[in-house]
A = this chain, B = another copy of it.
Amino acid sequence: MIQYPSGKKVNSKQKSLGITSRRGMSLEEDINKTNEAYLFKDRAVVHKKPTPIQIVNVDYPSRNKAKITEAYFRHASTTDYQGVYQGYALDFEAKETKNKTLFPLASLHEHQLNHIKAVKRHGAIAFLIIRFNALDETYLIFAEDLIKHINQDDVRSLSIQWIRSVGYEVSGTYQVPCDYIMIIDDYIKRSSYDK
Contact = CB atoms under 8 A, between A and B. Distances in A.
Given A84-B89, A86-B122, A89-B124, A3 B58 contact: yes
A4 B66 contact: yes
A82 B82 contact: yes
A6 to B, nearest CB: 10
Interface stretch (A45-53, A92-100, A134-142, A146-154): A45-53
Contact of A53 (B53, B60, B91): B53
A64 interface: yes
B2 A55 contact: yes
Interface in A155-191: none
Contacts of A89: 83-84, 87-90, 124
Interface residues of A, number: 47
A79 to B, nearest CB: 10
Contacts of A60: 3
Nearest to A87: B123
Given A50-B52, A52-B50, A58 B2 contact: yes
B78 A47 contact: yes
Nearest to A44: B122
Number of copies: 2
A49 B52 CA distance: 8
Interface centre among A45, A51, A72 (most CB of B within 10 A): A45
Contacts of A118: 39, 42, 45
A54 to B, nearest CB: 9
Nearest to A86: B123
Given A45-B115, A50-B50, A66 B72 contact: yes
Contacts of A91: 84
Interface of A: 2-5, 39, 42, 44-45, 47, 49-53, 55, 57-58, 60, 64-73, 77-78, 82-91, 115, 118-119, 121-124
